[in-house]
Chains A and B, each alone.
Chain A
Amino acid sequence: MIRVDSLTIERGEKVVIRNVSFSWHKGENLILLGPNGAGKTTLALSLSGILKPASGDIIIDSRPVSAYGLTSLRQKIGIVFQDPETQFVTTDVEREIAFGLSNIEENHEKIRGRIDSIIDELDLKDMLNRDPAELSGGEKQLVAIASIYAMSPDYLIFDEVTSFLDRRTRERIYRLWDECSSSLLIITQDFEEIRWGDRVILLENGEVNFESSIQSLMEKDIIPTQKALFKKLLKENKSDIPKFEEILEIL
């Protein structure tokens, strides 16, 4: 479990995260929502040990995040950024995918096996010898995900990774979310993606404004997904729509 307790993070003079507490259980997928500038990325950077908080604690499986060495921390928690280029370090895709893993694993056979299975899972065969810098935006994002996923961290953060991707590329990532054994924290602006979570946390102005299970949110149609918006309009026009009940059932 990751326990965040009274966390405050400052960037420059500005307090970006203010006294935030929540827990993230093993096996649980969290969805982190919030408007632009709410502090979502800052919180994610801090959870993954990249940004030091001003005060408060982040406890990962009973140990403070600061007590982990880099190698053991990367086995615990990984993060994929919105802009994949910020994390590329090599000049060919295969080495890029293997880079992180080869820093935490010495057994070559194990590395090879893991890399092959990821190449297969994300369907990256055709781009293995290319330079990550020359790939399209969607391809870059897949490589960035593969390189972090290869390390099989227990907890895995995706920071708005799908926002520039077409439907087909997004679906490859969704398939990975379905099959992935890591506990996920998905930061998103796409409300359709909340269905990959068990619980939602809404961050506003650096504070947790709202926490709820996904199931109860879905039942109440609170989140403005396309479906919820359509259902609302349908209900407003109920008396004029002859097959109202039947349509609601089909949705």
Chain B
Amino acid sequence: MVLLKNVSFGYGDSLVLKNCSLRFESGEVHLIVGPTAAGKTTLALLIAHLMKPRSGRVVFPRGKIQGVRKEMGFLFQFPEDLFFKESVYEEIAYGARKHHLERIDEQVSRVVELVGLRDEILSGSPFTLSEGEKRLVALASILVWEPSWIILDEPFSGLDWETRKRMVTIIESLKGEVGVILIAHHSNDIIECVDQLTLIVDGKIVCSCPPREVDWDVVFEAGCDIPYAISVSKKLRENGINVPMEYTISGLIQALKK
């Protein structure tokens, strides 16, 4: 579990986060949504102990900073900009070496299979890959040291449809083992496997609850996307078909069968 207790943070004079309290359960997928400039990335950086709050506390179970570095992986926006090794293999292996893991080959093979990369790209340069492959290499280079938490900042942006689907499959496969804290403005890609959704607006937590309990009108009003199934549920209700407000397509189909 990771806890944020009354956390505030600012750049210069302006406060970007105001008195935020949140709880992230281990092994769950936690989606953070909010309009542009709401403070989402800042929140993620604080959770990862990459910045210190101005006031309040970020409580990580192991307590010590060395623990956080080992236990928490952070996939930045445009993570491919941070590549610095000559081969894909070395780029991925770097994370394993940094954390003094043994049997590097085995660890690299494991994550290459997990994220679904082709073996033949391992000896090539990471810089010549497509954007989709680059993103998967960046993710593999974090998963290789088996962190118990990963933070993904807009992992779907700029990716094609196939790679977005792959990313969702990877996140689904991590569920239960790894706590995933995910920042995204398109919830459609991922909503089916989200356990907890937090809406942040203007540096304040507006709600944090399971998707089933979310008031989607509030999310929409904040300038964010709402799941397609919610828009359809709404439209059907307006046209006299009585369905519950379902947030997943599969849930909506089930509800329509009754």
Do A241 and B160 contact each other (CB < 8 Å), given the known contacts A37-B132, A166-B224?
A: no
- With the chains together, A189 CA to B163 CA distance in Å? 11
Contact indicator B235/A167 (Cβ below 8 Å): no
Closest to B128 in A: A14
Closest to B158 in A: A163
Closest to B232 in A: A230
Contact indicator A189/B225 (Cβ below 8 Å): no
* Residues of the B chain whose Cβ atoms lie less than 8 Å from the Cβ of A247: 236, 241, 256
Q: Choose among A137, A191, A233, A250 the residue that contacts B236 (Cβ–Cβ < 8 A).
A: A250
Contact indicator A227/B225 (Cβ below 8 Å): no
> Which of A168, A241, A246, A251 is most buried by chain B, counting CB atoms within 10 A of its CB?
A168
Q: Does B101 contact A (CB under 8 A)?
A: no
B11 CB → nearest A CB, Å? 9
Contact indicator B257/A240 (Cβ below 8 Å): yes
Contact indicator B249/A139 (Cβ below 8 Å): no
Q: Does B223 contact A (CB under 8 A)?
A: yes
B199 CB → nearest A CB, Å? 12
- With the chains together, A227 CA to B232 CA distance in Å? 9
Q: Choose among A14, A229, A243 the residue that contacts B249 (Cβ–Cβ < 8 A).
A: A229
Q: Does A82 contact B (CB under 8 A)?
A: yes
Contact indicator B36/A165 (Cβ below 8 Å): yes
Contact indicator B241/A35 (Cβ below 8 Å): no
Contact indicator A35/B160 (Cβ below 8 Å): yes
A6 CB → nearest B CB, Å? 25
Closest to B257 in A: A240
Q: Choose among B34, B159, B235, B252 the residue that contacts A36 (Cβ–Cβ < 8 A).
A: B159
Q: Choose among B159, B223, B250 the residue that contacts A168 (Cβ–Cβ < 8 A).
A: B223
Closest to A140 in B: B36
Q: Does B218 contact A (CB under 8 A)?
A: no
Q: Within residues 194 to 244 of chain B, which ones have a CB less than 8 A from any CB in chain A?
A: 220, 223-225, 228-229, 232, 235-236, 239, 241
Contact indicator A35/B185 (Cβ below 8 Å): no
- With the chains together, A241 CA to B241 CA distance in Å? 12
Q: Does B253 contact A (CB under 8 A)?
A: yes
Q: Does B53 contact A (CB under 8 A)?
A: no
Q: Choose among B77, B130, B228 the residue that contacts A35 (Cβ–Cβ < 8 A).
A: B130
- With the chains together, A163 CA to B164 CA distance in Å? 12
Contact indicator B36/A169 (Cβ below 8 Å): yes
Contact indicator B249/A233 (Cβ below 8 Å): yes
Q: Does A226 contact B (CB under 8 A)?
A: yes
Contact indicator A37/B228 (Cβ below 8 Å): no
* Residues of the B chain whose Cβ atoms lie less than 8 Å from the Cβ of A64: none
Contact indicator A246/B132 (Cβ below 8 Å): no
Per-residue interface assignment for chain A, residues 219 to 235, with 1 indicating a CB less than 8 Å from any chain B CB and 0 otherwise: 00000101101100110
Closest to A168 in B: B223
Do A166 and B160 contact each other (CB < 8 Å), given the known contacts A36-B133, A241-B257?
A: no
* Residues of the B chain whose Cβ atoms lie less than 8 Å from the Cβ of A251: 232, 235
- With the chains together, A33 CA to B21 CA distance in Å? 42
* Residues of the A chain whose Cβ atoms lie less than 8 Å from the Cβ of B239: 250
* Residues of the A chain whose Cβ atoms lie less than 8 Å from the Cβ of B37: 136-139
- With the chains together, A229 CA to B37 CA distance in Å? 32
Q: Does B109 contact A (CB under 8 A)?
A: no
Closest to A223 in B: B161
- With the chains together, A233 CA to B256 CA distance in Å? 12
Closest to A234 in B: B253
Contact indicator B253/A233 (Cβ below 8 Å): yes
Do A241 and B256 contact each other (CB < 8 Å), given the known contacts A166-B185, A230-B232?
A: yes
Q: Does B157 contact A (CB under 8 A)?
A: yes
- With the chains together, A190 CA to B157 CA distance in Å? 10
- With the chains together, A250 CA to B249 CA distance in Å? 16
Q: Does B102 contact A (CB under 8 A)?
A: no
Q: Within residues 84 to 142 of chain B, which ones have a CB less than 8 A from any CB in chain A?
A: 128-133
- With the chains together, A25 CA to B186 CA distance in Å? 33
Contact indicator A191/B241 (Cβ below 8 Å): no
Q: Choose among A163, A226, A240 the residue that contacts B228 (Cβ–Cβ < 8 A).
A: A226
Q: Within residues 122 to 181 of chain A, which ones have a CB less than 8 A from any CB in chain B?
A: 136-139, 160, 163-169
Closest 6 CB pairs of A and B: A37-B130, A168-B223, A138-B36, A136-B37, A226-B228, A36-B132
A-binding residues in B (CB < 8 A): 34-37, 77, 128-133, 154, 157-164, 185-186, 188, 220, 223-225, 228-229, 232, 235-236, 239, 241, 249-250, 252-253, 256-257
19 intermolecular pairs with C-beta atoms under 8 Å apart: A35-B160, A36-B159, A36-B163, A37-B131, A137-B36, A137-B37, A164-B185, A166-B35, A166-B225, A167-B223, A169-B35, A169-B36, A226-B188, A227-B228, A230-B229, A233-B250, A234-B256, A241-B256, A247-B236
